Structure 1
Amino acid sequence: MSGGGGLSARLAVPARLDVELTAAPGDVVAVVGPNGAGKTTLVQALAGLHPAAGTVRLGGTDLTPLPPQERHVGVVFQDRRLFPHLSALENVAFGPRTRGVAAGRARAVARDWLDRLGVGALAARRPGELSGGQAQRVAIARALATDPALLLLDEPFTGLDVGVAAALRIELAGHLARYDGVTVLVTHDAIDALTLATTVAVLDGGRLVQTGPPHEVAARPRTEHVARLVGLNVIRDGDRHRAFSPSAVTVSVHVPDDSARHRWPGTVRSAAPHGDAVRLQVHGDHDLIADVTPAATRELGLVPGRRVWLSVKETAITTY
């Protein structure tokens, strides 16, 4: 695959998006954020599928005035958008053919990509005859078959079984490692951001509020959403953030009488198994998560609706 240089984008959609994003060739930018943050709008604007003010420069070329089919961009949509009346082979060959590649050559390219994604034996099947994982592999093959300079993946593992998603994630990681274009990956899963990305970009309210290498964003998240993704509690106090793990939280049903400096009342929202522990979601002035033992859950009656106190020692908190 041939890259087209780095990406430099400055995009604005009234009341929905106002971001500036840069990436170097070979970068995988994971875009994370809560629902409604503007993630899909960003992908559509980069692809030319949503009107936006600003510029999108790819390898020094301004894509803004170009229609989608001339942008040299590959897109994998949440709902795949495969052509239902075409076979998997013809779906993948569609992109090269629209770029002027002869039909025979386009099919050869398509077959090669289907083989690479492990679905070559299904080339003659139509989308309705494919499982979710198989259809997603075809969609990824279709995006890559045009040798795009910019690859846009909008939550490519949504709706897949855990095992299927894990296998596809491993395969995609291999392809992205060899891809010298720019990849923008929209995801709601911390695993994707931490294992596939070179950079994490956090969107909130249509604005970019944090960017950095995955390990830095995970260690020092600046939004509650990202803290939840990586399994941390984060409380903002002015310009400072205080982060602590769920396992550092002590849960009691009475006001704590220990030496913990930080304590908050709240109500248990949910209690679910989490490894060897039970993870509590607690709503209060701060929405927090706490890991407790199954025995403590039974003894304290930690069920939804239960009023509790949470406390954390200063030594367990990282401030940044």
Structure 2
Amino acid sequence: MSGLQVDLRVPGRVEAAFEVARGEVLAVIGPNGAGKSSLVQALAGLVPAEGTALLDGRDLLALPAKDRHVGLVFQQQLLFPHLSALANVAFGPRARGTGRAEAERVAADWLERFGLGDLGHRRPGQLSGGQAQRVAIARALATDPWLLLLDEPLTGLDVKVAMALRIELGRHLAAYDGATLLVTHHAIDALTIADRVLVLDGGQVAQVGTPAEVSQRPRTEHVARLVGLNVVREAETLVAFPPEVVAVSLAPPEGSPRLRWEGQVADVSPHGDAVRLLVHTTGGPDLIADVTPGAATELGLAPGRAVWLSAKETAVRRYESHPDDWGTVSP
């Protein structure tokens, strides 16, 4: 397989084995402390790692960082403040031995592609956050890397700016023929930009699949929250269901719903036309439920309120919990 084949360990931080084909975007998601940034830093040569990371047959871990042919973009743009946008983008090609005129031609071309052709003379301090991040991404791509590592590239940007840059980034990555790792904590990035998603949890790979597989059958509570679902483990089965199918009451639900939990409201917040509750269940997982504003008022739903939650069997999806078996969703 051409592309990236990884089986590495950063002791005490992350242990992961996976593959990324050339032209493919793999989104890496997981809670804080899961090992996402450690994985990126290991591939970039910024922290020592054990194992192998074969990029088109070359083991990156055996090479110094400068020889890995990797493009890297952090959440903080880390642009050279004393250089213009053009000079920042031209820095990579220049560092690889390209002449000044050719490096600046390549840089100008990349700035034009990102809609910054008329801002090449400006220094980073004269650019908006979105413009500076575009320059950072252009700088990474200008070296024609075999592997592109994007560590939270859209975090910290205004929502509208991030949305516009997400569309631009997706377009550029679709045309990029190298392997890409995109570290993100935004579900929309994984669902709209990535070809596949890798979930890290506790420094280990918890799930790998297409965006549809991961979003419809999440195997960790963190991923379930990212895509707006509840997930409950029952022996060897996972049960997933959206917050709008959860009924909330102050007394035990009547009848015999198979799924029900007693708990306490931990948070109440607006969510579109609904009110979203976060409930700490007794001896179980945290769950989210959406109710109407009228119901929230009538039931006096506020942090600390004792409640019962229930969901009908027909409203949930069941699938096997084994990470190598997607299982069959029950009707």
Query: What is the TM-score normalised by the length of structure 1?
Result: 0.97
Distance 2:5 2:61 in 1: 11
1:272 to 269, 272, 285: 269
Matched, 1:217 2:214: yes
Check conservation: 1:5, 1:149, Cα contact below 8 A. no
Q: Distance in 2 between matches of 1:52 and 1:101?
A: 31
What is the rounded CA distance, in whole Å, between the counterparts of 2:308 and 2:94 in structure 1? 63
Q: Which residue of 1 aligns with 2:118?
A: 121
Higher relative contact order (Cα pairs below 8 Å, separated by 6+ residues)? 1
Aligned mate of 2:182, from 177, 181, 185: 185
Matching of residues 44-193 of structure 1 within 5 Å: 44-193=41-190
Contact between 2:10 and 2:39, CA under 8 Å: does it hold in 1? no
Letter in 1 for 2:49: A
Amino acid at match of 1:231: G
- Secondary structure in 1 aligned to 2:62? coil
Q: CA deviation at 1:22?
A: 0.5
User: Which whole-Å CA distance do the structure 2 matches of 1:160 and 1:319 have between them?
Assistant: 37
Q: Is residue 195 of structure 2 the alignment partner of residue 202 of structure 1? A: no
- The one-character-per-residue Cα deviations of 1:122-149 (angstroms, maximum 9, x if unpaired) are 1111111111101100000000000111
**Alpha-carbon distance between aligned partners in 1 of 2:168 and 2:28, rounded to the nearest angstrom:** 20
Give, in whole Å, the separation in 2 of the partners of 1:71 and 1:274: 45
For the residues of structure 2 that align with 1:252 and 1:130, how far apart are their CA atoms? Answer: 52
One-letter amino acid matched to 1:23: V
Partner AA of 1:104 in structure 2: A
- 1:265-286 deviation line (CA, Å, top 9, x unaligned): 1111212222221111111221
User: Which stretch of the first structure deviates more once superposed, 216-225 or 80-89?
Assistant: 80-89
- SS of alignment partner, residue 256 of structure 2: coil
- Assess if the C-alpha contact under 8 Å between 1:266 and 1:282 holds in 2: yes
For residues 285-304 of structure 1, the aligned pairs below 5 Å read 285-304=284-303
| Aligned residue identity for 1:295 | G
Aligned 8 A contact 1:279 1:291 in 2: yes
1:32 aligns with 2:29: yes
- Decide whether the 8 Å contact of 1:242 with 1:319 is kept in 2: yes
Contact 2:37–2:183 (8 Å) recurs in 1? yes
Residues 164-205 of structure 1: CA distance to partner in whole angstroms, max 9, x if unpaired? 000000011110111111010000011000000001000001
Distance 1:127 1:21 in 2: 36
Kept in 2, the 8 Å contact 1:259–1:313? The answer is no
Deviation at 1:259, TM superposition (A): 3.0
- Separation of aligned partners in 2, 1:136 and 1:40: 18
Opposite residue 296 of structure 2, the aligned amino acid is T
In the alignment, is the contact (CA less than 8 A) between 1:29 and 1:197 conserved in 2? yes
Root-mean-square deviation (CA, aligned residues, Å) is 1.1
Amino acid of the residue matched to residue 309 of structure 2? L
Q: TM-score normalized by structure 2?
A: 0.94
Cα deviation per residue 1:31-57 (whole Å; 9 max; x = unaligned)?
Answer: 000000000000001111111001111
> What is the identity percentage for the equivalent residue pairs of Structure 1 and Structure 2?
65
- Aligned pair count? 317
Partner of 1:227: 224
- 1:220-274 CA-to-partner distances (Å, cap 9, x unmatched) read 0100000001111001122210111101100011221233121111111212222
Structure 2: distance between partners of 1:153 and 1:159: 14
Give, in whole Å, the separation in 2 of the partners of 1:267 and 1:104.
66
Alignment partners' CA distance in 2, 1:55 and 1:237 = 36
Counterpart secondary structure, 1:80 = coil
Alignment of 1:6-45 (within 5 A): 6-45=3-42
Structure 2 equivalent of residue 318 of structure 1: 317
